[in-house]
Structure 1
Amino acid sequence: MISTFYERIVGTSPPPEQIVPKILCVGLSCVDIVQLCKSYPQEDTDQSCIDFRYQRGGNASNNCTVISQLDYPCEFLGILSKEQFSKFLQDDMKKLKIDFSHCPILEDGGCPTSVVLLSMSTGSRTIIHHKQNETEITLKDLEKLSLEDYTWIHFEGRRNVSDIIQMMQHIENYNNALIQMQSVNGDKSTHLPITVSVELEKTRPELLDLLPYADVAFVSKDFSQSRGYTNMRETLNNFSQESKTGATIFSAWADRGAMARAPDGTIVQSPAFPPYKIIDTLGAGDTFNAAVIYYLNKEKISFHRDRNPDDQSLKVEVSRNFNIESSERCQTEFINRDVLQSAVVFGCRLAGAKIGLRGFDGLSKVYKNYLS
């Protein structure tokens, strides 16, 4: 109807509707069974909890929840099943308008489950996870996607390191082909190269192999300490030596705030922004990562929309890292010191607000207040 009306009034067909490229998060979606306790229970005791709920969890799944609350189109890619709890996960993603249309759905697979104990006395969260199945996303799953539909792909560092590397290399090949096509056609393509990010959270040494293929890396406090590092600056300086040329690295240490290292080696920092009352620390790290991805992606789109390709002042000098496997440079030319400073502050503010909320409900309102 709209098309017919437009043709009758204007005389031509309406312009095609602009499609906003999505952020894709690859990893786990699970059921979190959350119990709020006055204090962490002693072994072999019987006590009542203050509150109980179950919700959709998993790092990549939580990343999508936050990005969706910030009103940006996102997609989750992970293993699902036809089991009852997995259907709950799918219904919850539908409610938040999170696309999961490319997820493999297993006939007989179970649903990963985490039991989470939240202590009101210390603010700690203790997680006991049950995997249910060993199936992970592979390159074949990623190859079914049309990569031009995405502007950013984030990987949760999991057990399938070799599969994740293959997927990252697949995206590198796509980016190289796109850049070559744009140079031949005079930079007329509307598609942007995909920025690749990765989270190193679990203390598995093999996750280090992912760094040479990531444009942006989020290194957890636990992972840093497992490598012998005692603070954020030490983390950034050491991990930069194993990262892709021009990579941006984030290190968030809860109440110490967060630091980040820009492609040119500049380091920025933000304090933590704790709420008046700590209610729920579960997912605070996922909130920080998702908020940073969202912010940087918006900057990326604005940068490519407004830039003049001939403006040499936008070029950032980056020293090539010859100690890694990947010879590719990062898709991070849109990140400078000011952008990075704003991104890390935004991430800390949203993560701080989140721990004052029950679950993730209310982040959208927090974000709107942040803008006003």
Structure 2
Amino acid sequence: MPPSQDDGTTKILKIGTRKSPLAMWQTEWVVDELKKLDKDLMIEIVPMSTTGDKILDKPLPKTGEKSLFTKELEHALALREVHIVVNSMKDMPSTLPDNLTISAVAKRENPADAVVMHPKHRGKRLEDLEDGSVIGTSSLRRIAQLKRKFPHLKYKSVRGNLNTRLRKLDEANDYSALILAAAGLKRMGWNDRISYTLDTEVFMYAAGQGALAVETRADDVETIDLVSKLHDKHTVIQCIAERAFLRTLEGGCSVPTAVRTYIKDDELYMKAGVYSLDGSEALVADMQTSLTPNEEWDRIMTSGDREASCEFASITTSYHFVSPYLLKAAGHLGRDIAMLLVKKGARRVLDEARRQNLMSDSI
């Protein structure tokens, strides 16, 4: 049965979300999953506009703003206007506001980037396009990696929700192709628009790409207990490592960083990289860690290193549903690979990328 409020009436679970079609699809998916757990649950979706939705006249990396797609949602959550908010994990800053926590990370969709060709280029690949062909993307990460492989192409910002960007591709000749997250296209039922997906071994993705995060207040035990049932163990572990990497580097959409994680035979593997804005410089590293108890167990579990445990601390409720050892092991891996890249010069590369991004008139 749905939980009751103090006055004895039935509580309506209010879910905050962005208004975009993809955000609404993601939220409705969460609603359906919650109703599978309790068919009598009363749920109200509360659509909102965020800063990122309103800024359409320039590339997001140039705004200098943080929490572009989450700030308004989290404000409503903190004020108790909604009980939960549903976010794309990659839109979430690596540090959460006080008293807010990620209480569920749902099973990840394909995190790869997808190439969507203009209809006139159907059947082609990026390497088949003529010199100077324009590729639409607003992601510095994608551009930096693509320039290394396809220097003969040009890259131009494209803004708007998925529907808007696809319409811009189809109805004009401004772009030869778009690079979009495969997860969003698949969730919207537009698999047929995917010309092909980029190899994640070469073109790594954004931290958290393809994963959905359900955010709650950290003190809302009743709601946490409800939504925590949507947790996917492997996705939680991967995202903690990726976000710990991002947080250690103090990265975001204004600098090119990329990751690739997977779990095989109880080992968590991670590849991560930082790039110059033009892709001419790349620092990449690989690491792995065991997800079974070993001689490192005591060291990891007793570590007081705040930076090493950064993501463990920012998903405070997850330890109720996923082993604390796994969470800390993942956080350590993300931190350690970031620090390895720092030793190789990552901060210099990223600081220069930030500077060039703010000064450049182009994307």
Global fold match (TM > 0.5)? no
Q: Which has the higher contact order (CA 8 A, sep 6+)?
A: 2
- TM-score, normalised to structure 1, is 0.26
